[in-house]
Structure formats: C-alpha cells, structure tokens
Amino acid sequence: MNSQEAAKMSNYVILWICFVVQIHLYPCVQSCFPPSFQAMAPEDVAAGYVISKVNVAICDSKVERFGSSDPDFAVRADGSIVALHSTRIPAAGRAFSVWAEDSNGRQSKMDIHILQTLSQKVKTGILRRSKRRWSPPPLSIVENDSLGLPKNVEQIGSDSSSQYKVYYGISGPGVDEEPVGVFTVEPSSGMLRVHKAVDREQYPQFEILARVYDRYTNQETDKPLPIKVNVIDQNDNAPTFAGSLKFSVLEQKADAVVGQINATDRDEAGTDHTKIRYKLLDGNDLFSIDSQTGVIKTKTASLDREVKDNHLITVEIRDMNGAPNGLFNTATATILLKDINDNPPLFSKSSHSVNVKENMEGETLIVRIPVEDKDLKKTPNWNSVFDITKGNEQGHFRIERDPDTNEGLLYLTKPLDYEMGKTLKLEVQAQNEEPLTGTQATWASIPINVNVEDVDEGPEFMPKNLKLRIKEGLPNGTIISHYTARDPETNSSAGITYYELSDPASWIDVGKTNGELKIANTMDRESDFVKNSMYNITVKAVDPSAKTSTGTVFITLDDVNDNMPMLPTHDLVLCEKTGQLGSVVLVAEDKDENPFSSPFLFKLIEPEEGKWTLNKLNDTAVTLQQASELPTGVYNVPVLVTDLQGFGDTQMARVRICRCQYNQCVASQSSVALGVGGILTMLLGLALLLLLCLLAACACAAKREKLELKDDLWSGGMLLKSNTEGPGEEGSTLVIVPTSGVEQSVKGSAVDNGTFGTMNTMNANSLAGAWQATPQPGLQQSSAAGVMTKDMIDMNTSSQYDFGGKGMDEVFLLNQRDAITLHTWRTNGIFLDMKLNYLATGEEARYADDILHTYNFEGEGSVAGSVGCCSDQSQYGNLDFLNTLGPKFKPLADVWNKK
C-alpha cells in the first residue's frame, strides 16, 4: 500500500469514526449518504430521467431539504437522482455533489460521478490492446455478516492499467439497483467492498458490471466485465410446517395411515440446513411417525371413537438432519377418529304391550319403540331400520322409523277382529342402514304383545261379496240364492232383517227375514243396466240393536238366444247411375253373444229374387245388388236373416233409388222437411181460412139487398166456361163479381141500368172457367182492386165484350134462388182480386212460385212425385213422406210459411 492509499484509508477511518460518533452522540443528517457514488447514464439524458437511487432509509427524520450543486440534477427525498432538464453526459463523465440539510443547518454531502454508457466501439486508432485481462471472478460473501463492515471482498483489475492511468466503476444490483449501496469499488485501486449484511434467502447472488476508464480521456480501456458475487448460506432459518395439521382415520384400524406432516426450510436446498427430520413428542403409544417422510400411522386397533373421538399429538421438525444443533419448530396435530358401525341399536325395554280395539280404522300409531345406538348420530351407522319378523302374516301392521328420535313407530293398517284372535304376538328387529363391522354383536329383537279389545259389532255378511251366475230370462219368482249375515258375537243370524240398498233395474226381491234372492222382473243381459254381462245389487242387514252392514251381490248373466239379427230400419240410398247396377250393404246386428249371434245367413224372398241379388261380405253383412236396372223410387226388399242357430225372420230392407249429388238424393236436398207439428199447423191454418170465408159469406148474405134478375135473360143458374186451358194474362182479374145493385129478376136480352155492378170484359179463354177481365178504353178503374162500377161501362158498346159468340143470357143466368151463391161469388172474387194485386206488386223472388208454371213432362218414376201423394194411405199415418214430396210441394209450403 503506497502513501496515497494509506492517506485515503486514514481519511476513511477518520470519517467512519466521525460517522459513528455522530450517530451515537450527535444524530444528524451526516449519516444519510455515503461519501461518493457512481452511476451510469446515456449520452443524452431527457428531463425526468432517473439516473440512480441512493439509499436514504437511514436519514434522520429531521431532514428538511435536499440540494444539488448541478442545476441539471436534483436528489429527491426517496434518494432518487433525476435529471431536471434535458442534458448531455460527456465522454469523460459528469461530477457534482448532493447534500441533505436538517433544521440546524448541518449537511450530509455526497459526491456523484455520472459516467456515459458506452454505445459505440472504442476507436482502434486511440486504444490498442491485444487481449482482455480481468481478474478474479467469481466472488462470494457470507450472508448476514455484519462484523467489520465495510469489508474488502476482492480487488478487480484490468491489464489495461499497465498502459493507461485508469479508474474503476461498477453498476447493477447491490450498487445502483436494489438493494442499493451493498457494494462499492475504490476507483483507483479497483477494490470491491461490501457495506451491508445480505440475506441469502432474499438475494442469493449479485451480478454487477465492472468498467475501467482512462483517467484523462474517460474512455473505457477494456470491455465491461460481469462479476457474480455469490452469497454463502448460513443456517439462519428454522423449518416451518406447511399444510393442515388436522387428520382423520377410521376407528379400530391398526397400521392405518392417518396423514403426512409437511414442512419447508428457506435455507439452501441440498444442504444439511434443509434436511428435516420428524419426531413425535407425545402420543407414541397410539401413533407413529416416519422421521424422514412425516407420515403418521396408527399403532393399535384399540382406538375407539365411542370412548374418545379425537387425539392431539405434538410433532417436532428439526433441520441439520435432526442434529441437536439444528433449528426446529413444534406444532400440535389433531387426529379425528371416524365412525364405523361397531354398535348395533339396542332396545330401551325388553318388551312392549299395547291394547287395540277391534275394528279400529287403519293407519293408527299404536306404540313407539325407543332404541339406543352409540355410533355417530344422523349417520347410516346410527339410523335404525325396523322390521316385523313375526306375527304380521295378515298384514295388519307396519313399522317405520322416526327420523328425529330414531324410534320405531308401529302402525295399525287394517282393523283387527276380536273374534279372530284376542292377542297378537309380534317380534320386531332393529338394524342399521350399514352392516355391522369390527364387533361380534348381532342385531337385537324385541317381543310386542297386541291385545285386541272386544267391541259390540253389527252383523256381517258371509261372504262380504256374493258372486252368482244365472241365465238371463228366468221367470219371475225364481229363487237364485240366499244372502244372509250373522252376528260375530253370537255367530247367529237370528233377528237380522234384510233390505235392498241398490237394485237399478228392480230385478231382484230380497227376503226381509231370510235374505232370499228371488227374480222380480225378467233379467235381460242386453239391458243398459248390465255391463260386461254383470249386474250388481247391494243388500243391507240390520240387527236388533240397529247396527247395520252391507254386502254386494255380483250376478253374471249367461246369454240365451233371445234376440234375432236385425236389419237397419232407415232408408238405404242407392244412387242411380246410367248403365251401371248399383248396390247397398246390408249390415245385421244381433245383441246376443256367440254362439247365438254371427255368422248370419241372408236369403232373398220371392218375388224380389229376380230384381236383386245377395253377395256375402262378411259374417254380419251382405251386398244387396240390382239384378237389372230399376226406375227411381222406394223398394221394400224382403230378406230372411237368421243367426248361427237358425233363429231369425223375414225383414224388409228399404232401398231408395234416386239421382244423387254428393252421394245424397237430390230430392232430399231440394225438398222441404216438415215435421208433424209443421203439417198440423198448416192444416189448421187452412181450416181457419175456410171458416173465415164461410163467416164472411154468411155476414154478407145477412145484409144483402134483394137481387132482381130478369127471367128471360137468365136461366136461374150460373154457367162458367171451362173447356179452355189457354194461358191468361199476368195481372188480370180472374173473377167477374156482380154488385149489390143487381135486381131480383132479369128479363129479355137487354141489360137494365143498375142490374150489374162493375164488370170487365169477359175473356172466353180464361183458365178453368174463370173470366179474365181486360180493361177497355173508356172504362174507369174502381177504387176497389179489380172491381169496376156501373157508371164506368157503356153497355151499348156490347162489341167490347167477347162472350164466345153467345149472348149474355147464355152466360149469366141468375135467379132469386141463387142470390146467396151470387153474393158468395162476389165476396171470394174481391178477396182473390186483392190477393193477385198484392202478389203483382211483391218481390219477384218471393212470389214467383205463387203463379202458374208450365212444367215439362218428366216421365214415369219422376223424382218430383205428386202433391196428391199426401193422401197416400199406405203409410198408415207415417209423416216421413212429407220429407220427399219433391219440388212441387215447396212453393205451397213457402207461401204458407210467409203468411
């Protein structure tokens, strides 16, 4: 060591002494900074760039201000050195000082030397070297070594020092990066020093970068050298427990694995510092632990959960492979014993006895059966399962478990009968949901005595339901059986009376004193009261004490051949098709069962055999087909139908041959369907109309004046021409009505003024002898529809009236004896004339069918038929024919309905 280095060393010692003295005697800010600090920065530094960070954690809290001698840089309270402005770092570096000042004005100063980060190669023209020579990597320090700090670690040097005047600088973790201030280097000598104790578990290695510079040019004289400083481990960390210390194991299990203790050590792996050994400090009589793996096992099968359900043991973990000088920790582990079903449920009592009244309704709780089980509650090992092992052959009882108390609940499900047994002995066994294990015990059972108490009962039918089988059609008064009841107390039927509760068809009489069942009305299997050949009645029995009971009689009716196969009674429609022979299907129905039913035999009866043929379709149906084309109309075809036993009769198959539309007769679609009520209403209306006309005629005859008719003009009668059927004119008057001014006699061929009232010109061509009145010029129409007055006709113009070449004396011959007839004629003429006028003013569609029409001839067998068919006596009062009267009947019905 030269004199210069010795002087520097003495200065450091003096500074260190002063620093220690100030720390202990005069605490101030002088302890904040190391005396010098080096940092690296790029050539161009932007504003806000953090150059490095100095550890100021030891600064006194009384520091009020930090300062810098360089206006471009400042130091913050956290020790960060930052650029205040954009600036440039020269190649030679930049040096300045920072300080911290307290309230008393005392300062702590630190020199900072910022070196430029080398960003380009050193020019070969300036520096020439043949090889790089650094020494001596690697380096190491001992963790937690705080004695004699700072300490020299190693001197670093470069061979370039032989050619240049150099100085050294370092950077990286432990220098200007966290943890800051651990290492420094003496710039001139390259001595690397450590200033702080280091925890290996936090910083196991430091990798710092060493540089060497020319003192005059500040140019690097050698490439940067990475230096690794390893921190040597010390056994400063005791092992710690990891994971849970709660374990469980089944009771009564030897050498069963309980669990494993896990431990960790922060010291260096692979050394004795982390080799852990495990040890039980207590509980060694029941458990063991593997010293290397920490696995805990049971040592005995005597662990009983019902005695003690958990155990606490103390475990020690020690490093240094268990050596006495090793660091250690202890903890308490909890071991829970899991339950096994080693205890069967035991009954609290040795037996049970219970009294039950006979005939008590079912689903009644009669006794609770408590049990005790030492196993863990609310688990399958504790839950009881009860079973009635004896005495319940008739199913009167059931047993279940109370989920809250674990008791057995014995229920009565069916009423008991004292007469059948006074005492029932049951045996109930209790088990668990899980089978027994780890024990020699077995399932326990207990006897239960059920005492039946006698109750005065009503009579009982024997049997409760009586089944009988008889033939249908038995004669009235036939005894089919006896149905009696008895008193269970006395086993006697004395004094018991019987009544019918239900007999829907009233077919059975029940003997009041002896329960005799007798046919009251003939039983018919085909009746609606019979379902599936079964008929039921209910009988009630009443004893002297008014107690009752009921019984049911099920009567099965055997079939007899009392029904012949029947053809349908409705019309079978056969649609007429030109050139084709149509057919219909005849389906017969027999209410009897086999062998009194199908297959049926069908046979045509004369004289229909030549018109029709039969073809079998199946056992119950045949096809009835035309043998030749037949005209439209209704045909009654006699067919003999018999069942399998030959029982049957000839029946009429009613077939309607017609023209069809949509498979229906056209006549049936266009005809008016009138019921019996409609026909009767129409006939009643017609009768009332006729009566009204007669009353009107009588009234007019009572008030008329005497008619004076000349005998030489009239013959005393009324002659109407009726030998022409030419069509009349629409809207004309059909009747010539004499007025009340007609005299009682008419003589000669001249017509006296006042003899006749208004008359229109008589048309000899009027239909059915009616006179059609045609208005003539010079005639004035009367205010009464269709009637003209005497003043409106000039009898001298006789040429205006056409009488068919005959004189009026030949046309009208009225005498005094025909006055009433004449008056009736006038009255009817007025009514008809008003009616025709009304029809002429009505809607065309409404009254179009009320006038005469000309119809084409439709030939024989026309579907229209005739209105005269209403008088057909072959139907014997059957009004169904009104539905098929045809088109001619519809206008008459429409007119009547509109009235």
SS3 799: helix
Do the domain assignments include residue 831?
A: yes
Please tell me whether residues 61 and 123 are part of one structural domain: yes
Residues ≥6 apart with Cβ < 8 Å to 577: none
pLDDT of residue 121: 42
CB 553 within 8 A of CB 466: yes
* More confident position, 463 or 775: 463
Of the listed ranges 8-17, 238-247, 477-486, 501-510, the one predicted with least confidence: 8-17
CB atoms near residue 355 (< 10 Å): 10
The 3-state secondary structure of 672-693 reads CCCCHHHHHHHHHHHHHHHHHH
CA distance 837 to 738: 19
> Where does the pLDDT of residue 794 fall: very low under 50, low under 70, confident under 90, or very high at 90 and above?
very low
* More confident position, 273 or 75: 273
CA distance 516 to 354: 43
Please tell me whether residues 357 and 244 are part of one structural domain: no
Please tell me whether residues 746 and 767 are part of one structural domain: yes
Residue 682 has pLDDT above 50, yes or no: yes
Give the single-character DSSP code of 370: -
Please tell me whether residues 123 and 158 are part of one structural domain: yes
pLDDT of residue 840: 59
Do the domain assignments include residue 19?
A: no
pLDDT of residue 890: 66
Please tell me whether residues 188 and 50 are part of one structural domain: yes
- Share above pLDDT 70 across residues of the chain, in percent, rounded to a whole number: 70
Do the domain assignments include residue 793?
A: yes
CA distance 556 to 543: 29
Residue 707 has pLDDT above 70, yes or no: no
pLDDT in tens, 585-620: 999 988 888 888 889 999 888 766 678 888 888 989
The 3-state secondary structure of 173-190 reads ECCCECCCCCEEECCCCC
616: domain range? 572-669
- Tell how far CA 491 is from the center of its chain: 59
Q: Taking the model in full, what pTM does it have?
A: 0.42
Please tell me whether residues 527 and 490 are part of one structural domain: yes
β-strands 50-53, 664-665 pairing: unpaired
Q: Which residues pair with 575 in a beta bridge?
A: 658
Please tell me whether residues 835 and 885 are part of one structural domain: no
Answer with the one of 403, 419, 453 that is the final residue of a domain: 453
Answer with the one of 319, 338, 357 that is the final residue of a domain: 338
Cis peptide before 775 (omega within 30 of 0): no
Helices (H), 815-876: 819-841, 844-847
CB 658 within 8 A of CB 576: yes
CA distance 852 to 891: 11
CATH number for 257: 2.60.40.60
Give the single-character DSSP code of 662: T
Please tell me whether residues 121 and 84 are part of one structural domain: yes
CB 782 within 8 A of CB 739: no
CB 135 within 8 A of CB 156: yes
**What is the number of structural domains in the chain?**
7
Do the domain assignments include residue 136?
A: yes
Please tell me whether residues 228 and 256 are part of one structural domain: no
pLDDT of residue 882: 63
Residue 170 has pLDDT above 70, yes or no: yes
**HSE (side-chain half, CA atoms, 13 Å) at 186:** 20
Q: Encoding tokens for residue 270?
A: 């692979």
pLDDT in tens, 711-740: 444 444 444 444 545 444 444 334 444 443
Do the domain assignments include residue 10?
A: no
Answer with the one of 453, 475, 502 that is the final residue of a domain: 453
Which among 496, 476, 474, 477 is positioned nearest to 485, based on CA atoms? 496
Of the listed ranges 4-13, 277-286, 791-800, the one predicted with least confidence: 791-800
Do the domain assignments include residue 674?
A: no
CB 332 within 8 A of CB 369: no
CB 395 within 8 A of CB 413: yes
CA distance 642 to 605: 13
Mean pLDDT of 372-385: 94
Do the domain assignments include residue 527?
A: yes
Mean pLDDT of 261-279: 93
Please tell me whether residues 827 and 863 are part of one structural domain: no
Please tell me whether residues 714 and 800 are part of one structural domain: yes
With tokens 């005859």, the residue in question is 701
With tokens 């009860």, the residue in question is 386
Please tell me whether residues 39 and 156 are part of one structural domain: yes
Residue 244 has pLDDT above 90, yes or no: yes
pLDDT of residue 579: 78
Residue 871 has pLDDT above 50, yes or no: no
Average pLDDT of the chain, as a whole number: 76
Mean pLDDT of 518-539: 91
CB 335 within 8 A of CB 249: yes
